[in-house]
Amino acid sequence: MDRDLSLIGAGPAGLTAALQLMRYGIKPLIFEQADICGLLDNAGWIENYPGFPEGIRGSDLKMLFQKQFMAYEPDLIRARVRKLLFYQEQELFSIETEDRHYQSRQVVIASGTRPKKIPEIETWPEELNKHVFYEIRTLLSEKNKKMIIVGGGDIAADYALHLSRDNQVVLLCRGSQLRALPLLRKRIEMRPDIRIVYGMRFESAGPGIERPMAVDISYEGGRA
Ligand SMILES: Cc1cc2nc3c(=O)[nH]c(=O)nc-3n(C[C@H](O)[C@H](O)[C@H](O)COP(=O)(O)OP(=O)(O)OC[C@H]3O[C@@H](n4cnc5c(N)ncnc54)[C@H](O)[C@@H]3O)c2cc1C
């Protein structure tokens, strides 16, 4: 058997569990398919994390998480868990990655959430899909680009506030108002450079007449 305890996911939840376990001298086998920190490093500014009264950038918190975590010399397996089975008779879990199987008596699953995909976009041609992102960590160094953010919740608002510092941002919202926290809504309203379009609906995407690729979008009172 490889380990008594294994942990799937090294986002904030998995890291918190791992740190506490390691402090008790229990070293779980930790599986992480991507960067340590999960979704949180997409966050522009985190204001609800105790200990940072002024708030902290998601990417900075990620560095601190990593530093604290790596100090324990964790047993980290950088791989995606693609199957998890429980063998009742042996009371054992089998954890399957691309390369091999691991066995563990107990498993903590902290695999988090995934951004919800927009079905219309999934059918777009590959050429267009190359310009679609569900997380912004790869866009943080972009400057002077025109960006469309689809959504009206907290994450869309956070992305808009963050990316509009160096880029031209349009926020496309399906509803008739933003659903983000009042605090974030207020900040967006104070930023006339962030254009918000309400009642948005994708019509089609594909080769345009004037441009090789185009997306048709209709919204309350117009189309683009
Ligand atoms: C833009 C943005 C701003 C945010 N701002 C805030 C904020 O200000 N305050 C706040 O409290 N929260 C904020 N959040 C939410 C916060 O990021 C999440 O609540 C938090 O990341 C959830 O942590 P988690 O560990 O449960 O999951 P995740 O962060 O999703 O981490 C899960 C981890 O598991 C890994 N994983 C998943 N499946 C597998 C698998 N099969 N094999 C191996 N590894 C796997 C993933 O790669 C990931 O690293 C924000 C989120 C975003 C996107």
* Most ligand 1 atoms within 8 A of CB, residue of 66, 93, 111 to mutate: 111
Mean pLDDT of 46-59: 94
pLDDT tens-digit readout, 4-27: 999 999 999 999 999 999 999 999
pLDDT tens-digit readout, 105-119: 999 999 998 888 887
Hey, what's the torsion of the CAs at 20, 26, 28, 34, to 10 degrees?
Answer: 30
Q: What angle do CA 84, 13, 52 make, to 5 degrees?
A: 165
- Residue 208 to residue 222: CA distance in whole angstroms: 18
For ligand 1, the distance from its centroid to the CA atom of residue 90, given in whole angstroms, is 33
What strands lie across the sheet with 195-197, from one edge to the other?
Answer: 146-150, 168-172, 195-197
**pLDDT level of residue 124 (50, 70, 90 thresholds):** confident
Q: How is residue 165 written in tokens?
A: 């510092």
Query: CB–CB of 139/164 below 8 Å?
Result: no
**pLDDT level of residue 208 (50, 70, 90 thresholds):** low
Query: CB–CB of 118/203 below 8 Å?
Result: no
**Residues constituting the chain:** 224
- Residue 67 to residue 196: CA distance in whole angstroms: 39
Pure H helices in 71-206: 119-122, 126-129, 154-163, 182-189
Average pLDDT, the chain: 89
Question: How many Cβ atoms sit within 10 Å of the Cβ of residue 186?
Answer: 10
For ligand 1, the distance from its centroid to the CA atom of residue 4, given in whole angstroms, is 25
For ligand 1, the distance from its centroid to the CA atom of residue 163, given in whole angstroms, is 19
Which domains, ranges and CATH numbers included, belong to the chain?
Answer: 3-109 (3.50.50.60), 119-223 (3.50.50.60)
- Residue 218 to residue 172: CA distance in whole angstroms: 10
pLDDT tens-digit readout, 128-164: 788 889 988 889 889 999 898 989 999 999 999 999 9
Question: What is the residue with the minimal CA distance to atom 15 of ligand 1?
Answer: 40
Question: How many Cβ atoms sit within 10 Å of the Cβ of residue 94?
Answer: 16
Q: How much is the CA Rg of the chain, to the nearest whole Å?
A: 21
- Ligand 1-lining residues (CB < 6 angstroms): 8-14, 31-34, 38-40, 42-43, 46, 48, 80-81, 110-113, 155, 158-159
- Residue 201 to residue 175: CA distance in whole angstroms: 10
Q: How is residue 53 written in tokens?
A: 């009264």
For ligand 1, the distance from its centroid to the CA atom of residue 223, given in whole angstroms, is 35
For ligand 1, the distance from its centroid to the CA atom of residue 190, given in whole angstroms, is 28
DSSP-derived secondary structure for 70-139? HTT--EEE-S---EEEEETTTTEEEEE-SS-EEEEEEEEE-----PPP-HHHHTS-HHHHTT--S--GGG
Ligand 1 atom nearest the C-alpha of 37 is 49
Q: What angle do CA 66, 9, 136 make, to 5 degrees?
A: 70
Question: How many Cβ atoms sit within 10 Å of the Cβ of residue 182?
Answer: 8
